[in-house]
Amino acid sequence: MDNKLGMQMFDGGYVHHGLLKAAQFILERETKTLQELLQQNGPDYKLIFAGHSLGSGIAALMTVLVVNNRKMFGNIPRSQIRCYALAPARCMSLNLAVKYADVINSVVLQDDFLPRTPTPLEYIFGSIFCLPCLLFIMCLRDTFKQDKRKFKDPRRLYAPGRMYHIVERKFCRCGRFPPEVRTAIPVEGRFEHIVLSCSTTSDHAIVWIERESEKALELMKGNEKPTTPPALQKMERLQSFEEEHKNALERAKTLDVPHAVDLSEVEIQEGSSPTPPSDTHSEATSEAKSAGRTSWDELMHKLFTRDEGGKLVVKEDIKARNIVIE
């Protein structure tokens, strides 16, 4: 947990110094094992990192290291590297959190305190017995702090990647409700404010995260309806993960987030097939093309005529021009 604000720069942003050292240490020890697994299982093998709490921060930074050193791992495609961070710690700056949202997935249960607090981790875990008091003071401090100042500080750390927020309780309602999963690549409001509730600390437990995740998955499977063709068959292209990722990067640039640069199209969409154009575009293109050329029926009418037997015969004027038609 060795870290100070702005202590460690990495890949054009800032990361947690202590967690990065731990990620480098583990990766150095396990590099040969990963290389052997990739060689034995072929090109379709995927590298998946997972962790909880502080371990999620280490797993996220290990993923970033592997993505930036893919040559050491047999040039594995970026699309085959994944990280699942449960109750993640704040371990990277905003530009890196958005940049690696296509490979890092963070799962947060309701009011979990750790993804929301920018306080150094050593203070949190060193004062675990007076944690409610510490969270209350931090909540008061963040209430009077402007969001613009937070975004403009490039050293501020955030929870990594795409966020999956499991919501099981509602405002001013008692009891637990069927869990809902909300997902996005947030730029503004990336769990910036601490929620003071009776479950602020219990929502950090991996047991509850696992239980509510299973419930949410079962509900999603139960709500699946058989696919039937619509009455009006029309292709509609929804926003893909790649497009959402690109929009999040552009949004980060408009907020003047330091070092918020776009990824190259090749790096973001590596290994993915190109998206087919929409119907509107294809229809407009076909109309534009057909408007400037003669249709097949008109061409046949100009070149051929029918004899008494109904057979197609080349017109006399075409023969006179010595035009050969095969």
pLDDT digits (tens, 9 = 90+) for 198-249: 787 888 899 999 999 999 888 888 777 666 666 665 655 556 777 778 888 8
- pLDDT, residue 282, reads 45
When pLDDT is cut at 50, 70 and 90, the band that residue 146 belongs to is low
Q: Per residue in 167-191, pLDDT tens?
A: 887 766 676 788 888 888 877 767 7
Supply the DSSP symbol for 115.
Answer: G
CA dist 19 and 6 (Å) reads 14
Q: Between these two residues, 47 and 320, which has the higher pLDDT value? A: 47
- pLDDT, residue 183, reads 85
Which residues, at least 6 apart from 67, have a Cβ–Cβ distance to it below 8 Å? 78, 81, 100, 103
Q: Between these two residues, 96 and 312, which has the higher pLDDT value? A: 96
CA dist 46 and 62 (Å) reads 15
- pLDDT, residue 326, reads 52
CA dist 127 and 71 (Å) reads 42
- pLDDT, residue 285, reads 45
Strands lying side by side in the sheet with 104-109: 47-52, 81-86, 104-109, 162-167, 180-184
**Do residues 107 and 164 make contact, with C-beta atoms less than 8 angstroms apart?**
yes
Nearest CA-CA partner of 40 in 48, 32, 29: 32
326: its two tokens: 């095969």
Which residues, at least 6 apart from 8, have a Cβ–Cβ distance to it below 8 Å? 14, 15, 16, 17, 20
- pLDDT, residue 270, reads 52
CA dist 300 and 312 (Å) reads 9
Residue matched to tokens 């509510």: 212
CA dist 95 and 14 (Å) reads 9
What's the whole-number average pLDDT of the chain?
76
Q: Between these two residues, 195 and 145, which has the higher pLDDT value? A: 195
CA dist 92 and 179 (Å) reads 28
What average pLDDT does this structure show over 138-154?
63
CA dist 166 and 163 (Å) reads 10
* Least confident residue range of 116-125, 229-238, 250-259, 277-286: 277-286
Looking at 123-247, which runs of residues are DSSP E strands? Answer: 157-158, 162-167, 180-184
- pLDDT, residue 15, reads 92
Which domains, ranges and CATH numbers included, belong to the chain? 8-224+241-262 (3.40.50), 290-326 (no CATH)
Strands lying side by side in the sheet with 13-15: 8-10, 13-15, 92-93, 157-158
Percent of the chain with pLDDT over 90: 27
- pLDDT, residue 32, reads 93
CA dist 124 and 127 (Å) reads 5
What average pLDDT does this structure show over 274-279?
46
Nearest CA-CA partner of 160 in 32, 26, 23, 265: 23
* Least confident residue range of 28-37, 98-107, 273-282: 273-282
- pLDDT, residue 209, reads 92
Q: Between these two residues, 221 and 14, which has the higher pLDDT value? A: 14
What average pLDDT does this structure show over 18-25?
93
**Is residue 279 predicted with pLDDT exceeding 50?**
no
- pLDDT, residue 244, reads 79
Q: Residue 132 CA to chain centroid, in angstroms? A: 33
